[in-house]
Chain A
Amino acid sequence: MNEQKNIAIQLKKITKKYQLQHNKPTFFEQLLQRRNTEQFLALREVSLTIFSGQKIGILGSNGSGKTTLLKIIAGITSPTSGSVVTHGKIVSLINLEAGFHPDMTGLENVFLNGLIIGMSKNEIEKKTPSVIHFSGIKKFIDSPFYTYSQGMKLRLSFSLGIHSDPDILILDEVMAAGDAEFQSKAKKKIDQFFTQKKTILIVSHWLEFLETYCEKYLWVNKGKIQAFGGKEVLEQYRVFQNKKSNYLP
C-alpha cells in the first residue's frame, strides 16, 4: 500500500452556521421573546479528503472561512451538520496566545498546555528542557506569564506546539512569531517537519512561502472550496487577487 493513500482528514458535507450576536444574549430575553436570530454561514457543504503526509497550503481572503475550517478539523468547534473524521494527533497553532494562564509561571503553563494539546505527563517532563531552550526564555521560565512580552509568549507557545510531535500540524500565520533570529530557527524546525511524513495544513498570505513548502493548495472562498489541487490553484489565486486589487481606486 502506498503511504499516500492513508486518509488523515476526511470532511463530508460540512456546514457551519454562526449566530450573529449583536449584544450579550440573556436568559430573560429568551424567555420574553424569541430573539430574531441572524445567522451567518461560514462554511457551506464542504467536503474534503486529505491523505497523510500531504503538505497543504490554504488560500483565501479574510472572512472566507479558512479559520473556521481549521477549527473544525482541530476539533475546537463542531460543524452544524456533516461529519469529520481525523486520524492521528492534531496540534493546531491557530491561536498562539490562547491557553496560557497569566498568573501561572511559564513552566506551569508549559505543563498545563502540554496536557491540553494531548501530550502525556512523561512526554512533557522529558521535552520541557528543549521546549525552554528552543523558546530562548530560560531566565524567565519561573516568572508569571503576565510579565512576558508579546514575543516571549508567542515563542514559548510555538516552541511547545512543535515539540508535541503531532501527526497533523495546523499552522495559521505563525511565521509572524518572534524576531528574525527566532523566525529562522522556527523555519528550520518547520523544514524538519516538512521532510517527515507529517500532514501539514498551513495558512499564510505570504504566497512565496507556501510555494516553497506545499505540494497542494486549497482555495477557500465564501465558505466553499473554490479549488483544490497543485500549483495551478496557486496561480489562479494570484490572478484572482491581482484582479481584486486592480479594482481598488
Chain B
Amino acid sequence: MELISTKQQNYLDFLLAMTEKEIRVRYKMAFLGFLWILLNPLLQMLIMGFIFQFFVPVHVNNYFLFLFVGLLPWNFFSMTVNKSTPVIMNERSLIQKAKFPRESLVLSIVLSNLFHFLIAFALLLVALVVDKIFQGYSFSQLSWYFLRILTSFGLCIWLAFVTSGFSLLFSALNVRYRDVNFMVQAILPLWFYATPVVYTLNLLPEKFQLLFFFNPLTSIVQLFQYILLNQPFSLQIPFILNVLLGIFLAILGFTFFKKESIFFDDWV
C-alpha cells in the first residue's frame, strides 16, 4: 500500500508548485525581498506605537512588543484574505484549462503567506527569549516559557485554518458577485480596529466588550497576546462562543467553496 495515491500526490505537487510560484513572484517584485517581510510590520509597529501610546493606556511592559504580537497574525490574515478574494478571477485562464482542485489557488496564497508569517514569527520569538534572558529569568522560568512558545505553533495552525476559511468564502463569493472584492477591501481596515491589536478589551466599557466577540479574530489575537506576553484574558462563555464562531465560519467557507467551485468556469 502506498501512503498516498497518485492523485493526492499530484495535488500536493501542484499546491507546492503554486506556493513556490507565489513566493518567488514576491521576491522578484520587491527590491528588499526577504527584508520586507519583517520591515513591513516593524515600520507599522513603530509608527502606530509612537502614536497610540499617547492615546491607549494599555497596561503592558512594552507597548511596542504588544503591538507587534498582534500585528503579525492580523497582517497574515488581512494580506491573505485581500489577495485571495480576486484570485479565481485573476487565474481564470487556469480554470478554463483543466479540471483540478480549485481550492489550491487559494490555499497556495495561504501557504506562501504562512511561510512569510512563520519567518517573522520565529524572529519575534528569538527577540522575546533574548528579552527574557536580559530580564534575568531563571532556567526553570525559561523552560516554562519555551513550553508556552510551543503551544503558540498550534495557534498558528488555528489562525491559518480560520484564514483559509475566510479566503475561500470571499473568493467563491467574488466569482458570483464582482463587488465582493471591493467590499472586502473596504471592510479590512475597519476590521483591524474591531480587533484588539492596538488596545485591550478591558479598556472598553463592559457592555461593548461583548460586541467584539462577534469578530472571530478576537480570540486568536487575545491568545497570541496571552501566550507570548502573558496578557490576561477571561476564559468565559463569550470567548468560547467566539472560538466556535471561528470554526463555524471556516467550515462554512470550505463547504461553500467546494459547492461553488465546480461551476466556476461558467462565471469567470
Name A's B-contacting residues (CB within 8 A). Answer: 18-19, 24-28, 30, 71, 74-78, 90-92, 95, 97-101, 103-104, 108, 111-113, 115-121
Contact B97 A116 (CB under 8 A): yes
Chain B contact residues: helix, strand, loop or mixed: helix
Cβ-neighbour of A26 out of B93, B99, B100, B179 (below 8 A): B179
Number of CB contacts from chain A to chain B under 8 A: 81
Contact B263 A118 (CB under 8 A): no
Contact A26 B14 (CB under 8 A): no
Contact B14 A115 (CB under 8 A): yes
In the complex, chain B residues 160-200 whose Cβ is within 8 Å of any chain A Cβ: 173, 176-180, 183
Task: List 17 additional A-B contacts (Cβ < 8 Å) besides A101-B21, A103-B25.
Answer: A24-B178, A25-B177, A27-B180, A74-B99, A75-B99, A76-B265, A90-B99, A92-B98, A95-B97, A97-B93, A98-B93, A99-B96, A100-B93, A104-B21, A111-B17, A120-B9, A120-B10
| Min C-beta distance of A242 to chain B, whole Å | 34
Number of interface residues of B (CB under 8 A): 29
- Judge whether B138 is part of the interface by a CB distance below 8 angstroms: no
| Min C-beta distance of B184 to chain A, whole Å | 11
What are 14 residue pairs bridging A and B, where the CB atoms are less than 8 Å apart in the complex? A24-B178, A75-B99, A76-B95, A76-B99, A77-B266, A90-B99, A91-B98, A98-B93, A99-B98, A101-B21, A112-B14, A113-B97, A120-B9, A120-B13
A residues in contact with B99, CB < 8 Å? 74-76, 90
| Min C-beta distance of B163 to chain A, whole Å | 21
With A74-B98, A75-B99, A99-B98 known as contacts, the answer to whether A121 contacts B13 (CB < 8 A) is yes
Q: What residue in chain B is nearest A77 (Cβ atoms)?
A: B265
* Contact bitstring B217-257, A, C-beta under 8 A = 1, else 0: 00000000000000000000000000000000000000000
With A115-B14, A115-B17 known as contacts, the answer to whether A99 contacts B176 (CB < 8 A) is no
